[in-house]
Amino acid sequence: MRQLLDEAAAGGYGVGAFNVSNMEQVQAVFEAAHDTESPVIVAVSRASRAYTNDGFLVHLVAAALELYPDIPVALHQDHGNSPDTCFSAIELGFTSVMMDGSLTDDGRTPSDFEYNVAVTRAVVERAHAAGVTVEGELGTIGGIEDGHGSGRSRLTDPDQAVEFVERTGVDALAVAVGTSHGAYKFSRPPAGDVLAMDVVERIHERLPHLHLVLHGSSSVPGELVDRINAFGGEIGPTWGVPIEEIQRGIRHGVRKINVETDARLAATGALRQFFHEQPGEFEPRAYLAAARDAMRVVYTERMRQFGQAGHAREYAPMSLEEMRERYRG
């Protein structure tokens, strides 16, 4: 992932990190990346690893790489709750891991700064020795998703970010600016008092060469929510992160943007509409194809909005061995 983010910084764009847990999601991500000629980050949570099984997930991605060898891809462990979680991902062949030391290993309790530094540094040492990228987190993201999260947000301190990066050696830093996991991010259109994008700008001023990460960055489009509700769903009023705010972040050092909820909403809406319009259908391939196509539309749109479209063939992906030597240097 470090190479993808370095290239994104040089080109002034962001790269979407899209969470997957089944074949249809993997297919949709890779089809969108192929269609738009985009480098992409495939993210896997601990819950997805448990649900799908590590072997299935790794081989699904490997199969997609065989079909789309022209796409630069990072396979990323999302929100590792402990060094052991990250180490197991490295052993499986993941090329990037996130050590979320902002929480303790239960994935829910906020930690202190020294704990965060210690566990993140331990992961950096092991990962870089294997050529693997490391993302850390400072501050806490709101909401709970896939069983991860404290349920409350704590904004990142820009001055503390400088010390954290110096002491850990992370390649990328997830910053808390008021976003949250899940569909219910904001109860009203987010303004500066709830979405502190100025924090990104202040950190970028202090660490201009650091790759910043935005979690909880789904935009929760109204049309996706409306489609679900039109066919029997009950999603309440909610607002996500406006695309223009993400693009503002990209102009100030944000290189990785995590998106999951938008794809979930798209798939759910497609499934609800399918069953409403075709109540006698029971062929999984038919309704899962509808969900896959809906997710593909979202991924394609985000890749274009983040600016990564068209950049897949600008460079040759480095191997882990090459990255290992780069980290040694």
More confident of the two residues 153 and 49:
49
- Collapse the DSSP code of 196 into the 3-class scheme (helix H, G, I; strand E, B; otherwise coil) and give the result: coil
Closest CA to 213 of 253, 180, 183: 253
| pLDDT for position 195 | 75
Q: How far is CA 110 from CA 107, 125, 164, 201, in A?
A: 8, 23, 16, 24
**In the block, residue with structure tokens 């909880």:** 216
The distance of Cα 244 from the centroid of its chain, to the nearest Å, equals 18
Q: Spelled out in words, what is the top-level CATH class assigned to the domain 2-220+233-260+306-328? A: alpha beta
Determine which one of 35, 78, 84, 157 is catalytic. Answer: 78
Active site includes 262? no
CA dist 153 and 137 (Å) reads 12
Tens digit of each residue's pLDDT (9 = 90 or more) over 216-235: 888 899 999 999 999 999 99
Which residues, 6+ apart, have CB-to-CB distance to 18 below 8 Å?
Answer: 25, 29, 40, 41, 42, 43, 259, 260, 263, 299, 302
What are the domain boundaries of the chain? 2-220+233-260+306-328
- Collapse the DSSP code of 18 into the 3-class scheme (helix H, G, I; strand E, B; otherwise coil) and give the result: strand
Average pLDDT over residues 69-91: 97
pTM of the model: 0.93
Average pLDDT over residues 33-46: 98
| pLDDT for position 22 | 97
